[in-house]
């Protein structure tokens, strides 16, 4: 409620201010320019807002260059972006802005719940600038992560992140973003191989992680099979995992990187006497579609949309090929220290076919699913992966391993604090 009121207030005072400035400066014509700009983006079509009232009569001088220059000058005085509204704002459109004074809410020394895999500074990463970039939207103001607000939003609720190790990163980020507000005797963490629970007693809330790298059932969920050719996915079977999702208030799913082995996926459905032998080798997007459909059917038939919010985190990009961002002499993401600045950069680590499958399957669902569309914004962040400042088999990389980044640099997982904090900033703004 407080939020809505604040929205209204800010929107009102913004528009009042705008009217004042514009009538004072006799540059009403500028509006045409701006409104034209807005209506060319699809995100502002549904809701009318105070600014739009001025449009029609002043459309003539759109081309007027002088006015455009004036507009730019004015823009730097008045931030005319909208307060974040999930229905209107596209989180994929924006830029990373370096802010030397930005203070992440936690560090890998202050938050006791981070895995070593993602504790890059603790693991010796020399460059710490990657923590100081903020994702700034083109058309909207994405609010900073407000830990108090987050705790209020999840009061009395079970929040569960479900998926692979990238989802585990998002879960740890979310825990770290709020845990510092909670007194020691009011919080507890229970880590399990499959299911982990962070409990906040005085809020009667939990933030949980459930390991299901494909969402559906497979022979490599628990005891991971190294050779992708020996992995078999039961693409029509989700119940074994899904029964643990019942009764949760906020579910956040993902699945992507495990499908991207480059080989065909051994996909099994139905149950036959010959056990696991009856599988079919399918291209990843084909198998993915069947599996996601199985997940979607389960959600549609088991989730009460009046009680449970469902989110889906889109693909987390990998950065295994430095030629994607024109660093021909580079070794994967190793040694990168700056985000890619080319607008709309999209590398080979994000498979558009998978994005299309996700989009088309979810579109047909009965239960509304909110996308956390983090792919584009994460694509830019080639420098924010664990790289060689990580562990393997429970041990920090040795100096020899570090000297062989081609083999050992991790360009899939993200350092924390880091990019997944922005995913959670978007998550909270949608909650
Ligand atoms: C940078 O961060 C500081 C501290 O949070 C904040 O006051 C300032 O507005 C930020 N600057 C930009 C350009 O966002
Ligand atoms: C605590 O939350 C659970 C659901 O997560 C709910 O069933 C229970 O009633 C809540 N207890 C109190 C005291 O609010
Ligand atoms: C959800 O709420 C709406 C409106 O309150 C109601 O019409 C609908 O029957 C409810 N659905 C379920 C599954 O309870
Ligand atoms: C990585 O960066 C360091 C420090 O800038 C430099 O000395 C080294 O040569 C770089 N290594 C490669 C393989 O580019
Ligand atoms: C996510 O955003 C990208 C643009 O960056 C878009 O191409 C894609 O369709 C979006 N995905 C979904 C599922 O909405």
Residues 302 and 426 both lie in one domain = yes
Is the preceding omega at residue 417 within 30 degrees of 0, hence cis? Answer: yes
Cβ of 301 below 6 Å from ligand 3: no
Question: Rounded CA gap, 105 and 107, in Å?
Answer: 7
Atom of ligand 1 nearest to the CA of 103: 5
Question: Rounded CA gap, 290 and 361, in Å?
Answer: 9
pLDDT value of position 163: 98
Tell me the three state secondary structure of residue 199: strand
332 alpha carbon, distance to own chain's centre: 22
Angle at 295 between CA 290 and CA 297, to 5 degrees: 90
Atom of ligand 3 nearest to the CA of 306: 1
pLDDT value of position 36: 31
Residues 123 and 15 both lie in one domain = no
pLDDT value of position 81: 78
Residue where one domain finishes, among candidates 20, 51, 80: 80
Q: How far is the CA of 161 from the centre of ligand 2 (A)?
A: 19
Identify whether the C-beta of residue 196 lies closer than 8 Å to the C-beta of residue 209.
yes
Residues 174 and 216 both lie in one domain = yes
Per-residue pLDDT of 293-336, as tens digits, reads 999 999 999 999 999 999 999 999 999 999 999 999 999 999 99
Burial of 179 per CB tally in 10 Å (0-12, 13-18, 19+):
buried
Q: Does the pLDDT of residue 48 top 70, yes or no?
A: no
Tell me whether residue 86 is in a domain: no
Residues 206 and 75 both lie in one domain = no
Atom 10 of ligand 3, nearest CA residue: 306
Q: Does the pLDDT of residue 51 top 80, yes or no?
A: no
Which helix (H) or strand (E) segment holds residue 169: the answer is helix 165-179
Q: How far is the CA of 355 from the centre of ligand 5 (A)?
A: 7
238 alpha carbon, distance to own chain's centre: 24
Tell me whether residue 308 is in a domain: yes
Atom 11 of ligand 1, nearest CA residue: 99
Residue 328: how many other CB atoms lie within 10 Å: 6
Identify whether the C-beta of residue 40 lies closer than 8 Å to the C-beta of residue 139.
no
Per-residue pLDDT of 201-229, as tens digits, reads 999 999 999 999 999 999 999 999 999 99
Q: Does the pLDDT of residue 425 top 80, yes or no?
A: yes
Q: Angle of helix 284-302 relative to helix 352-363, nearest 10 degrees?
A: 30
Tell me whether residue 92 is in a domain: no
What residues make up the domain containing 244? 97-430
Residues 200 and 153 both lie in one domain = yes
Cβ of 270 below 6 Å from ligand 2: no
Q: Strands 369-372 and 265-268, how do they pair?
A: unpaired
Average pLDDT of the residues in 54-68? 48
Question: Rounded CA gap, 116 and 203, in Å?
Answer: 28
Identify whether the C-beta of residue 374 lies closer than 8 Å to the C-beta of residue 313.
yes
Cβ of 117 below 6 Å from ligand 5: no
Q: How far is the CA of 334 from the centre of ligand 4 (A)?
A: 9
pLDDT value of position 305: 95
Which ligand ends up closest to the CA of 204? 2
Burial of 13 per CB tally in 10 Å (0-12, 13-18, 19+):
exposed
Average pLDDT of the residues in 41-45? 32
Residues 66 and 146 both lie in one domain = no
Tell me whether residue 348 is in a domain: yes
Residues 39 and 185 both lie in one domain = no
Tell me whether residue 62 is in a domain: yes
Name the token pair of 180: 């510092």
Question: Rounded CA gap, 79 and 92, in Å?
Answer: 19
Which residue shows structure tokens 């845990």?
A: 179
Identify whether the C-beta of residue 49 lies closer than 8 Å to the C-beta of residue 55.
no
* Strands lying side by side in the sheet with 158-163: 187-190, 195-200, 205-211, 158-163, 250-253, 309-313, 369-372
Please give the model's pTM, rounded to 2 decimal places.
0.83
Question: Rounded CA gap, 37 and 173, in Å?
Answer: 36
Residues 41 and 173 both lie in one domain = no
Tell me whether residue 89 is in a domain: no
Least confident of 35-39, 57-61, 163-167: 35-39
Give the closest residue to 245 by CA, choosing from 181, 191, 288, 298.
Answer: 298
Tell me whether residue 412 is in a domain: yes
Model confidence at 234, pLDDT cuts 50, 70, 90, reads very high
Q: Does the pLDDT of residue 386 top 90, yes or no?
A: yes
Name the token pair of 56: 């029609």
Q: Does the pLDDT of residue 76 top 70, yes or no?
A: no
* Total domain count, the chain: 2
pLDDT value of position 49: 33
Which helix (H) or strand (E) segment holds residue 268: the answer is strand 265-268
Residues 103 and 128 both lie in one domain = yes
Residues 133 and 17 both lie in one domain = no
Per-residue pLDDT of 110-143, as tens digits, reads 999 999 999 999 999 999 999 999 999 999 999 9
Residue where one domain finishes, among candidates 50, 80, 110: 80
Burial of 303 per CB tally in 10 Å (0-12, 13-18, 19+):
buried
Tell me whether residue 88 is in a domain: no
Residue where one domain finishes, among candidates 46, 80, 114: 80
Residues 195 and 330 both lie in one domain = yes
Residues 65 and 103 both lie in one domain = no
Q: What are phi and psi of 188, to 5 degrees?
A: -150, 155
């Amino acid at each position: 409620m407080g939020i809505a009121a604040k929205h209204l207030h800010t929107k009102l005072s913004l528009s009042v201010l705008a009217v004042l400035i514009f009538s004072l400066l006799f540059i009403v014509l500028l509006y045409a320019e701006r409104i034209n700009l807005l209506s060319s983006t699809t995100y502002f079509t549904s809701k009318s807002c105070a600014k739009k009232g001025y449009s029609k009569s002043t459309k003539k001088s759109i081309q007027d260059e002088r006015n455009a220059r004036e507009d730019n000058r004015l823009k730097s005085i008045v931030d005319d972006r909208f307060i974040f509204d999930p229905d209107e704002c596209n989180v994929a459109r924006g830029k990373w802005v370096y802010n030397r004074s930005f203070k992440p809410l936690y560090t890998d020394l202050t938050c006791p719940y981070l895995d070593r895999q993602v504790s890059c500074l603790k693991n010796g990463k020399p460059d710490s600038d990657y923590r100081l970039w903020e994702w700034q939207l083109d058309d909207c103001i994405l609010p900073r992560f407000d830990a108090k607000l987050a705790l209020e939003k999840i009061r009395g609720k079970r929040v569960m992140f479900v998926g692979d190790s990238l989802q585990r990163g998002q879960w740890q980020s979310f825990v770290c973003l709020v845990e510092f507000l909670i007194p020691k005797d009011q919080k507890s963490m229970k880590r399990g191989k499959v299911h982990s629970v962070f409990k906040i007693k005085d809020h009667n809330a939990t933030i949980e992680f459930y390991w299901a790298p494909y969402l559906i059932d497979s022979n490599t969920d628990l005891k991971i099979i190294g050779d992708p050719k020996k992995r078999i996915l039961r693409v029509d079977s989700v119940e074994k995992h899904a029964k643990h999702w019942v009764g949760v208030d906020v579910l956040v799913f993902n699945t992507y990187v495990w499908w991207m082995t480059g080989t065909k996926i051994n996909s099994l459905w139905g149950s036959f006497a010959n056990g696991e032998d009856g599988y079919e080798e399918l291209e990843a997007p084909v198998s993915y579609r069947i599996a996601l459909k199985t997940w979607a059917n389960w959600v549609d038939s088991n989730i009460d949309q009046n009680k449970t919010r469902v989110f889906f985190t889109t693909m987390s990009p990998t950065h295994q090929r430095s030629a994607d961002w024109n660093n021909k002499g580079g070794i994967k993401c190793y040694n990168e220290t700056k985000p890619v600045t080319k607008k709309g950069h999209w590398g080979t680590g994000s498979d558009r076919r998978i994005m299309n499958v996700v989009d088309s399957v979810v579109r047909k669902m009965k239960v509304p699913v909110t996308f956390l569309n983090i792919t584009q914004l994460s694509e830019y962040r080639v420098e924010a992966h664990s790289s060689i400042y990580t562990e393997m088999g429970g041990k920090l990389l040795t100096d020899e391993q570090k000297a062989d980044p081609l083999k050992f640099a991790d360009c899939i997982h993200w350092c924390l604090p880091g990019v997944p904090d922005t995913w959670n900033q978007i998550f909270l703004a949608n909650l």
